[in-house]
Amino acid sequence: MEEIVFHHTLPIQLRFNDVDKFGHVNNTVYFSFYDLGKTEYFASVCPGVDWEKIGIVVVHIEADFVKQIFASDHIAVQTAVSKIGTKSFHLIQRVIDTETNEVKCICKSVMVTFDLERHESMPLTEEWIEAICKYEERDLQKA
């Protein structure tokens, strides 16, 4: 498998309620970090999208929890698109410690573009495909 280069990194501020009684960030909280990463990624890469008409939905998601995150850690979520299909694309995300670059968790998801007016999946636009491939610096339709 090809090594993923992450061009998008979003620092995450840990909140008091992210930490559970065991003193580490609860595993359910990681998915909110990944949602923030997705939101910022697409706002940066595909600006001007009418999110009232077009949506992106998660159809599959999996996470591997590698190391614990503690309240004193400084973390960021990194996001990259690894493959583009006709209606779907694959996202790779990871949470890292920004001081050590240690990977804390890796998340893989499959996303589908969705027509919010018709309530059905829709093909990715050429504009999105071009913008994502340009940002990721490679042709993701052949990935």
Identify the residue with better confidence: 120 or 143: 120
Whether pLDDT at 2 is above 80: no
Coil, strand, or helix at residue 1? coil
**In-domain check, residue 139:** no
Q: What is the CATH number of the domain that holds 32?
A: 3.10.129.10
**In-domain check, residue 23:** yes
The residue segments making up the domain with residue 104 are: 6-134
Whether pLDDT at 3 is above 90: no
**In-domain check, residue 52:** yes
**Is this structure's pTM higher than 0.85?**
yes
Closest CA to 36 of 82, 90, 75, 86: 75
**In-domain check, residue 44:** yes
CA angle 23, 99, 70 (to 5 degrees): 5
**In-domain check, residue 42:** yes
Q: What is the pLDDT of residues 7-43, one digit of tens each?
A: 999 999 999 999 999 999 999 999 999 999 999 999 9
Residue 123 is predicted with a pLDDT of: 95
Using pLDDT thresholds of 50, 70 and 90, give the confidence band for residue 127. very high
Q: What is the pLDDT of residues 42-100, one digit of tens each?
A: 999 988 888 888 899 999 999 999 999 999 999 999 999 999 999 999 999 999 999 99
Closest CA to 82 of 57, 43, 102, 111: 111
> How much helix, strand and coil, in percent to the nearest 5, is found in the chain?
25, 40, 35
137: left (phi over 0), alpha (psi -120 to 50) or beta: left
**In-domain check, residue 93:** yes
**In-domain check, residue 67:** yes
Number of domains in the chain: 1
**In-domain check, residue 143:** no
Cα(first)–Cα(last) distance of the chain, in Å? 10
Using pLDDT thresholds of 50, 70 and 90, give the confidence band for residue 1. very low
